[in-house]
Structures are given as structure tokens and as C-alpha cells.
Amino acid sequence: MSQIDDFLAMLAAERGAARNTILAYGRDLEQADDMVGGALESASPAQLARLGQGWASLAPATLARKVSSLRQFFGFLVDEGVREDDPTHALPRPATRRPLPKILSHEDIAALFERAETEASSGEKLAVRMLALLELLYGSGLRATELVSLPVSAVPRDAPFLTVTGKGGQTRMVPVSQRAKAAMSAWLPLRDADSAWLFPSRTGHLTRVRLFQLLKALAARADLPPEKLSPHVLRHAFATHLLEGGADLRALQTLLGHADISTTQIYTHVDAARLVKLVNERHPLARHRASD
């Protein structure tokens, strides 16, 4: 096997990378191998710099993917002791625009909850769990990993907050709505009482992959396109709909657990129409003209 094959095998075995991801990385690395004349694993910084020059006409997103493939490949070689140096400092640093998040309308959310609430009213265990998951994703803006890894100890008794451990091990307090609290109260007596997790599974806690599957199945039952729904999309809906309701961007940063306000500012693009209306209605000059 070549070093490229070894790297792709590691992606599949240790990182659980999707087949399409592995295929894309393989194409990028094989192309780079051809461009440097073979033996990519031995390429010098000068050769990688020429690679970047050859990719100058590519779209920023494509260039970013190729650079990422090479950075991970050479990082793997260093970790495996195949190389002592990492030559990827010679690669370009493409600036990519952060894509706008997918948006769920208020009507989409209403349809989703109507279906989940109807199913949960039966008292069936998995339906009650689904409603609790949905309430916490949309009502508190949790990340998928934060949600599935919630311990039972994080559930509030009196205070209306969850204690969540987010990226980088940072802990934050997340408000829990009355609706979400009611959904959790219905779920708690049904869960496995011996588990330390709020949403247990046979081997630990519910996985991110299973959460994705459950949401897409719920979307289909609610007559929504399954590809339109994911935990991240519900988190975006939480943020966008809060902004529409007049939430402060700094408060939203705290709720989402963003370390940098620039990450939160993407939502100002989503809600641009409301911001224009706000300036037209609330700016002092607008009020002055209205009184003339």
C-alpha cells in the first residue's frame, strides 16, 4: 500500500470518515501526487508551493478542500514517523466565505412540533424522547454533541438552566423553556434509570449519527424534506428566530457558546431585512423626518 492508501485507511478506521469524504481526499492527493511527479510523501516545500500556484484559478472552496487534504495527509506522515518535517507551510491559505446557514421557517418549525407532539401524546417511550430532543435543540440551541452527551446531573431541579459542556471543554448555562422542561419531565420516568446519561443507549448515550437519523425521519413524517433538517439547522433556527424577536447579538453569542462574536455575526446576514426595518423605524433621523 502507498502512503496515500494508508492515510485513507486511517480516515475510515479511526475517524469514521464518510465514503464520499474518503473518495474526495483520495482524488485530491492522487492529483497532487501526479503534479509533483510521484512520491507525494517526499515532496519539498518548493514543490508544494508550485502546487498552490497551479491551483490559483480554482474556486476558493475547492482550493480550501485540496489544501486541507494535503495538510491532513502530511500531518499523518509526521505522526507516523514517515517524515520529520511538515512542508505544508508553503501551501496557500485560501480565504473562504462562511456559507449562510440553512433556514427553517416558522411554518416548518410549527409542522415539526405538531407532528412530534401528536406522537408523544401517545406516551410511547421513543416518541416522548423525540419531543424532548426537539425541544432542547430548538428551544436551547444546543449542538448535537452537547445534547446527546448531557448527563442526568445537568437537568435543572429548580433553576431554569442546563449546565452544558461545549467546544474546548467550556461550560455554560443554557436557559430551558417551560416547554422543554415539561418535555424532559415526561421523558425522565421512561429512560433507563441506571444510566448516567439523559438520553441513554445500549452502549452509552445516544449518538450524533442516530440523532441525525431520528430528525430526518421525523421531518419525513411531518411532510418536510428530510434533507432540510439536522441538529445544526435547528440550532440555526433557534438563533435566527431569536434575532427576529429582537434578541441582542451579544446575548445570542453567550447562548450559542461562541468564543468569538464574529461567529455569531453570520446571523446578521440571515436577518438583514429585519435590521433594515429597524434602522428605518428607530433611527433618530427617521423619527425626525416622520415628525416633519
Could you give the residue numbers annotated as active site? 143, 167, 232, 235, 258, 267
Backbone angles phi, psi at 164, to 5 degrees: -115, 135
C-beta of residue 132 within 8 angstroms of C-beta of residue 142: no
Residue 95, classified by CB atoms within 10 Å of its CB into exposed (0-12), middle (13-18) or buried (19+), is exposed
C-alpha cell of residue 135:
425541544
Alpha-carbon span 72 to 59, nearest angstrom: 20
Distance between CA atoms of residues 250 and 264, nearest Å: 8
Helix, strand, coil percent values for the chain (each to nearest 5): 65, 5, 30
Residue position matching grid coordinates 417511550: 125
Q: Would you state the cell numbers that stand for residue 92, as one nine-digit string?
A: 496557500
C-alpha cell recorded at residue 110? 410549527
CB distance 242 to 77 below 8 Å? no
